[in-house]
Amino acid sequence: MFSNRLIVLLLLTSSLLKASEMCFHPGFQSVSSLFEGIRNLKSQIHNYQMKSNYSLQLFIKIVILCLPIFACTPDNSGENQTTGKVTVGSKGFTEQDILMELLAQQIENKSSLKVERRRFNSALVTHNAIASGKIDVYVEYTGTAHVAILKQSTITNPQVVYEQVKQIYAQKYQLEVLPGLGFENTFAMIIRGEDASKYNLKTISDIAKVAPKWRPGFGYEFVERPDGFPGLVKTYNLKFAQSPKLMDLGLIYQALLQKEVDLVNGNSTDGQIARFNLVVLADDKKYFPPYEAVPIVRQETQKKYPQLKTALEQLSGKISAQQMQTLNYQVQEEKRDVKQVVRDFLNQKFSGK
C-alpha cells in the first residue's frame, strides 16, 4: 500500500510540474492543455488503480481533482511592484495643497507609479483617511500628530516629539513617519506691524495688556484643538474683549488688514507675513509644540511599492522655512498655478540629477 502511494505521488509531482509550466507559459490561453496533462497522468496510473484497494483509488481521484487548483493558482508576489497607483492627500489649505502636489510630482518623476490627489478639510479627517486606506501618503506636522491626533502632553523637544510620533504611528496605525522635509510650520500669533510698533509688542505675553480691548479671529480648527486657543489663553492668561471670531483660513489675513480683528492665528510659513508687514509674536512660554513637516506613508503601501519610499526620501531636508514661505506666497498672493510652482521648484532642486 505504501509503495503504491509513493509511486503515485512521484507521478503526480512530475505531472504537476509540467502542468504548472503550461499554466504559466506565455502562450497558455486555456485550461485544455492542463487537462490533457491530467488525462496522460490518469493513463499512467491506470494499472496501479486496477491493482489497488478502494482507499488508494479514492486518494488518487482527490489529488487529480485538486491538481488544476494547485497548478494554476496565480503568483501575486510581484504584482504591481513597479506599476500601480497611490493616493496623496491634503489637509485643505494652501501649504498642504502645495505639499500634496510636491509629493505627487516627486512620485511621478521618480517612479512608475500613477498618482491620485485627494483634498480634505482638517487634520483629523485626513488622518482618518490614511488610517482607513483612503489615501496612502500625506504630509503631517509632528506637533499636530503628537497632540491633536495622539493626545499626548506637549513636549518642546523636536527630536523627542518626532521619535514618539514615529513609534506610536507604526504600532497603532501601521503608518511610517519618514524623515522631515526640512522646515517647521508652527502656529503663529500674528498682529499688524503698526500695532506692534504702537504698543511695543514682541511676545505673546506682551498682548495681555491690550487683550481686553482686542478682537481675536481664529480658524475653526485652532479654536477646537487642545494645543490651540483653549491652552493658549490658559498659558498666557489672556482675556479678550469678545470670543474669537471663527474664520476660514483663506480670509483671516484680509480680516486683520481691514481691522475687523486685531489678532489672528496663522502659520509661520505663510506667504502674507512679509508681504503685508505683519508681525509674528514670539512664543516666549514655549506653548506650541514643534511642527516639523514629515511625510506619513501607509506601511502596506510602502511594502507593496518599495520605490515609493525611495522617491519620497529624496525630499528629506530639501525645503527650508523661507522656501516654503515663498512657495506659499507664489500661490496665495501671486495666484500662480500650484502644479507649475511645484514643477519649477523640483526642477531647480533636482536639476542635473
Identify which has the larger pLDDT, 249 or 150.
150
Superfamily of domain 85-184+290-349: Periplasmic binding protein-like II (3.40.190.10)
pLDDT at 205: 98
Contact status, residue 178 vs residue 309, Cβ threshold 8 Å:
yes
- What single-letter amino acid sits at 170? A
Give CATH for domain 187-281.
3.40.190.120
Query: Alpha carbon of 255 to those of 64, 176, 221, 273: distances in Å?
Result: 78, 39, 17, 14
Is the fold of 85-184+290-349 the same as that of 187-281?
yes
| Cα distance between residue 317 and residue 319, in whole Å | 6
Q: How many CA atoms lie within 13 A of 199 on its CB side?
A: 21
pLDDT at 70: 44
Query: For the residues 217-227, what does the mean pLDDT come to?
Result: 88
Pick from 43-52, 159-168, 201-210, 264-273: least confident: 43-52
In terms of phi and psi (left: phi > 0; alpha: psi -120 to 50; beta: otherwise), the region of 255 is: alpha
Bridge partners, residue 292, by sequence: 184
Contact status, residue 87 vs residue 134, Cβ threshold 8 Å:
yes
Q: Where are the domains of the chain?
A: 2-72, 85-184+290-349, 187-281
Distance of CA 203 to the CA centre of its chain: 34
Q: What is the pLDDT of residues 240-287, one digit of tens each?
A: 999 999 998 879 999 999 999 999 999 899 988 888 999 999 999 989
User: Does the pLDDT value for residue 38 go beyond 90?
Assistant: no
